[in-house]
Every structure is written in C-alpha cells, then in structure tokens.
C-alpha cells in the first residue's frame, strides 16, 4: 500500500491550532502517514514537529511570492494538504491552485473566527469566504463555526471537535491529563512553588490564560477584579499570556491599584492553573477554548462567558454568564470563592464533562477518515 503523503500548513499559529497540529502529526506518523509541516520557524522550537516525526519546512507568515513559492514546493507531490486557520487556507489555496484543479484535496480546519469590526472586519469576512470556497472539506471546531463556514460558501463543512493533550511544564505539547497520581503530585508541587513566588499566602488565586488581545475580554475582567477588592481575603487575579494589550492593561492595573498580576508566558502555567481556586474565561467569543479544556480536566472550577462554542464544550460543568456583564461575572467568582461545596461540585462535574470529549486518538481517527475518503474516492476539483 502506498504511504499517504500529507502537508499540514500553519499560518499565525495560535496555541490551539499549533497544539492540534503537533498532536495530529504525532498520531498520523504513528499510523504510517508521511507528514510535512509548513509553519513559521519559531513554531517548531515551541512545538517540536520534527520530534513528532514530521519533515519541517519553515514558511514565514507573510504572503509574498517567496513564501508562496516555498509553500508550493513543499506541497508538490502531496496526496492531500490540510491548512489550519483562515489565512493559512487562503495562502495554501494560492500556492497549490494548479494542483487543486488537478484534484488535490484541500482540507481546512476553522479553529476560531474573526473579531474585527469596520474595514478590517469586512476584509476578514472576505478571507473567510475565500477560505471556505477554496476547501474541499471544512472541519470546524464548533457547531457555530460549521454554520458560519456554510454561510460563507463551504460546499462541505463538518463538525470536528479538536482534543489536544493537557499541557505540562515539560512543554507546549505535553501529555494528557490523567497521567496518574505521580503527575498530579508533580503539578501540585510545581504549582505550589509558583503560588509562593506570586506571594499567595492565604489568598485565593483566580486565573486566566490567553493572549492579551481585545477579544479576550480582559477589560471587563479588570472591572470585575475591582469589585473583588471588597472580599476578605482579596483574591489575586493572575493572567498568563502576552499580546498587544499588555501595556494598556498594566497601566490600568497600576493606576487603579487592582489585585491583578500579568505573569506573561510561563512554562509552568498548567501547574499553576491546577492550584487555582477558580479559572476564568471572559472572552467575547471562543470556539473550543484550551483554558476551558484544561480547567475542567484538572477539576478547577470555571466561570466563563456564554459565547460561541463554550456552552457546547462545558455543558453544566461551569458557571456561565453573559459577555460584558461585569456584575454577573464578579458575583459568580465571589460566590465560588465563598462556597467550597459548590467548587467541589464543579470540579467533579468538570472531570465528568471532560470524559465525554473525544480523545486524541478519536480526533486523529476522524481526521484520517476524512483523508481516506478524499484520497480513495478522488476529490472533485474546483
């Protein structure tokens, strides 16, 4: 039997899409599939695609002729190309246009959606339409994204929930949760040390994780943190991540003397999250949030906004509030901090909900079944 040759293309490389490609690469290689990963060079340093068994081709984020030519060369001779994210999909479609017309299948995974307004929002909607129409099959990580892809012209859009390993202090690709008591003890020890470094002696820890970008909802979250100053003891809100909003957020924290720490990117973020009293997800929109997945797997009570794919992901295992409702968010967190029994109930419910999600193996098997369908039956050219 001829070895299936696939190319995985990453553009900007969000944490979710990069972790998924690393997981997918490892699983496909283990099943005898030949995998080439095309991505910005720095992503291999973080996610070690080569270590997962892939041939790695560094391709910069930009869409200049040199980058497109590099991508075209990497895809030559492939049986199927799989782009992750909208911009990666459009660049890949441009690079392999002739091969697509000859029947090369292009699979596109939509991990998230655009958040911009005005002129940039209109441009991003155009990118969505191009990505949807270029794809032989769109795999979307939430039901809402399936509907969005279809509304943008996708001829075949399917729900494909992504499961990735629980990250550990060993690196971004990590191992799965449930690695046993020893792993849990290691996390507790590392997390306890991290709490001590933050000065958390007798204070609750509320934790958020994610890029410091406008759609993450950190503005309303800081508003909620201002209300927590009346609690005794005052909880510390730790936000792990980097992004263009960092300076503005830090100015607010200092000017308003908020009980908030921006702790940047950390290798021990999962260890610290495992010791948090409450995890928070204040986003304007999410598909299949990595923070939500990690919090529920770890048994950390979660307060999140009821947006996008979050309700579908967490079910009854988290306290959900409307986006932007600062009072409701602050009240939900304060209520959990004051109620150990409710926190324990949510911890148990979170682990039970996580057990219903597809495993890594099931995620890989679903993607491979799509590959087999397209390569064995022959994809229809555009």
Judged by DSSP in three states, 229 sits in: helix
Q: How many domains does the chain have?
A: 2
CA nearest to 279, candidates 327, 337, 228: 337
CA nearest to 207, candidates 187, 186, 194, 227: 194
pLDDT (tens digit, 0 to 9) for every residue of the chain, 382 residues total? 579 999 999 987 677 789 899 999 999 999 999 999 999 999 999 899 999 999 999 998 776 788 889 999 999 999 999 999 988 999 999 999 877 766 899 999 998 887 667 887 788 889 899 999 999 999 999 999 999 999 999 999 999 988 866 654 334 444 334 445 555 555 566 567 777 778 778 899 999 999 999 999 999 999 999 999 999 999 999 999 999 999 999 999 999 999 999 999 888 899 999 999 999 999 999 988 999 999 999 999 999 999 999 999 999 999 999 999 999 999 999 999 999 999 999 999 999 999 999 999 999 999 999 999 999 865 554 4
Is 169 within a domain?
no
Is 173 within a domain?
no
On whether both 271 and 132 belong to a single domain, the answer is no
On whether both 186 and 154 belong to a single domain, the answer is no
DSSP label of 60: -
Backbone phi and psi for residue 29, each to the nearest 5 degrees, phi listed first: -60, -40
pLDDT, position 67: 84
User: Residue 90 forms beta bridges with which residues?
Assistant: none
On whether both 103 and 187 belong to a single domain, the answer is no
On whether both 289 and 315 belong to a single domain, the answer is yes
Structure token digits, residue 247: 């300076």
Cα angle: 253, vertex 259, 263; to 5 degrees: 70
pLDDT, position 171: 40
On whether both 254 and 221 belong to a single domain, the answer is yes
Is 94 within a domain?
yes
Is 116 within a domain?
yes
pTM of the model: 0.85
Structure token digits, residue 271: 């260890």
Is 172 within a domain?
no
On whether both 271 and 225 belong to a single domain, the answer is yes
pLDDT, position 166: 63
Domain that holds residue 271: 181-354
On whether both 73 and 135 belong to a single domain, the answer is yes
Is 171 within a domain?
no
Rounding to the nearest 10 degrees, give the CA dihedral for residues 301, 307, 308, 311: 40
For residue 2, give every residue at least 6 positions away whose Cβ sits within 8 Å of its Cβ, in sequence order, or none: none
On whether both 119 and 266 belong to a single domain, the answer is no
On whether both 116 and 219 belong to a single domain, the answer is no
On whether both 368 and 224 belong to a single domain, the answer is no
On whether both 106 and 221 belong to a single domain, the answer is no
Is 33 within a domain?
yes
On whether both 246 and 306 belong to a single domain, the answer is yes
pLDDT, position 193: 76
- CATH number at 308 reads 3.40.50.2000
328 alpha-carbon distance from chain centroid: 25
pLDDT, position 60: 86
């Amino acid at each position: 039997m001829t070895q299936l040759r696939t190319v995985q293309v990453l553009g900007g490389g969000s944490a979710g899409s990069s972790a998924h490609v690393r997981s997918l690469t490892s699983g496909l290689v283990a099943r005898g599939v030949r995998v080439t990963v095309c991505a910005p060079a720095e992503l291999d340093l973080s996610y070690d695609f080569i270590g997962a068994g892939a041939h790695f081709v560094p391709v910069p984020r930009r869409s200049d002729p040199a980058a497109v030519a590099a991508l075209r060369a990497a895809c030559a001779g492939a049986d199927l190309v799989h782009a992750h994210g909208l911009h990666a999909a459009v660049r890949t479609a441009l690079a392999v246009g002739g091969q697509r017309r000859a029947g090369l299948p292009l699979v596109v995974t939509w991990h998230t959606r655009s958040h911009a307004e005005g002129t940039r929002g209109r441009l991003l909607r155009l990118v969505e339409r191009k990505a949807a129409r270029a794809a032989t099959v769109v795999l979307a990580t939430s039901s809402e994204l399936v509907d969005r892809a279809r509304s943008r012209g996708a001829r075949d859009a399917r729900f494909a929930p992504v499961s990735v390993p629980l990250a550990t202090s060993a690196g971004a690709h990590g191992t799965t949760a449930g690695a046993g008591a020893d792993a849990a003890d290691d996390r507790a020890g590392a997390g306890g040390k991290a709490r001590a470094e933050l000065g958390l002696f007798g204070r609750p820890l509320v934790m958020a994780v994610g890029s410091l970008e406008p759609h993450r909802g950190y503005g309303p979250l800081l508003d909620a943190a201002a209300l927590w100053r009346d609690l005794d003891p005052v909880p510390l809100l730790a936000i792990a991540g980097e992004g263009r909003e960092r300076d503005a957020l830090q100015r607010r924290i200092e000017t308003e003397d908020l009980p908030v720490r921006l702790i940047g990117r950390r290798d021990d973020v999962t260890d610290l999250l495992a010791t948090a009293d409450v995890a928070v997800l204040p986003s304007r929109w999410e598909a299949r949030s990595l923070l939500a997945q990690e919090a529920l797997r770890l048994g950390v009570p979660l307060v999140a906004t009821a947006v996008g794919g979050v309700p579908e992901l967490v079910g009854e295992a988290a306290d959900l509030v409307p986006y932007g409702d600062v009072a409701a968010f602050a009240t939900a967190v304060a209520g959990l901090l004051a109620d150990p029994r409710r926190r324990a109930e949510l911890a148990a419910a979170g682990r039970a909900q996580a057990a219903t999600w597809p495993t890594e193996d099931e995620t890989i098997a679903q993607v491979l079944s799509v590959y087999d369908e397209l390569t064995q039956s022959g994809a229809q050219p555009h």
